[in-house]
Amino acid sequence: MIENLRLHYAPDNASLCVRLALTEMGLPFETILVDRRARGQKAPEYLRLNPNGLIPTLETPDGPIYETAAILLWLADRRGDLFPAEGAKERGDALKWLFWLSNTLHPAERMLFYPDQYIAAEFQDALSLRTRARIAALFALLDAENPDFLSGPASILQCYLAPLLRWPRLYGGGGNWLNLSDYPSLSHFAKTFETRPSVLRAAAAEGLGPTPFSDPILPDPPEGSAL
């Protein structure tokens, strides 16, 4: 049992991926709200834990860990579940998809949500249109590949992917530009994953509604703000 875990989180942020994994593992953990409305992620005390000023950070017996994929892999390797162990023949393929989520899909979504961090105001609409097309193409690639983790047992890959399927439809600039039903493998995964008891508990803790990944609505969290 891993003890003394403290998750610094904001509702419906990347910390949701970590909450899903912690809840699925049945690990005890404390949550520390990072108040985004007050830009708590840029507060000096938070920057001492995570100098990037991003969410999440997980305080562990090994010290604070940031970067979503790093946290998820640290948890899985110490528990020996939710990800293939070192030396397992499946690990290479699993690592490939973990880093694809972390280095390809997740950054594309951040570019859609925060275009002001990437380009001047007069070019942001054009960037958003191009980024929407890129995300749709990445969804199509993943759907066509239909990797084993989509239908396999619970894993950190599932915990990472599910929020990435949710966010573009809520925070991607409005409109119905992305329909998950166009991606049957991803749609089936979302509908199946969100019925897991651990997922229902995590979703309730952040006010995500009854179908948080297949048919998401804006969150109504008991504390804090997603934006």
* SS3 assignment, position 35: coil
User: What per-residue confidence (pLDDT) applies to 56?
Assistant: 98
User: What per-residue confidence (pLDDT) applies to 137?
Assistant: 98
**Of the candidates 122, 66, 73, the residue with the CA atom closest to the CA atom of residue 97:** 73
pLDDT in tens, 32-49: 999 999 998 999 999 999
Which helix (DSSP H) or strand (DSSP E) does residue 58 occupy? strand 57-60
Distance CA 161, CA 163 (A): 6
* SS3 assignment, position 60: strand
C-beta pairs of 168-174 under 8 Å, 24+ apart in sequence: 168/109, 168/112, 168/132, 168/135, 169/216, 170/12, 170/216, 170/217, 170/218, 171/112, 171/113, 171/227, 172/109, 172/112, 172/113, 172/132, 172/135, 173/112, 173/128, 173/132
User: What per-residue confidence (pLDDT) applies to 3?
Assistant: 81
Q: What share of the chain is helix, strand, coil (3-state, %, to 5)?
A: 55, 5, 40
Place 174 in a pLDDT band, splitting at 50, 70 and 90.
confident
Model pTM score: 0.96
User: What per-residue confidence (pLDDT) applies to 60?
Assistant: 97
CATH for the stretch 91-195: 1.20.1050.10
Distance CA 38, CA 33 (A): 11
User: What per-residue confidence (pLDDT) applies to 1?
Assistant: 67
Q: How far apart are the first and last CA of the chain?
A: 33
Both structure tokens of 120: 């001047």
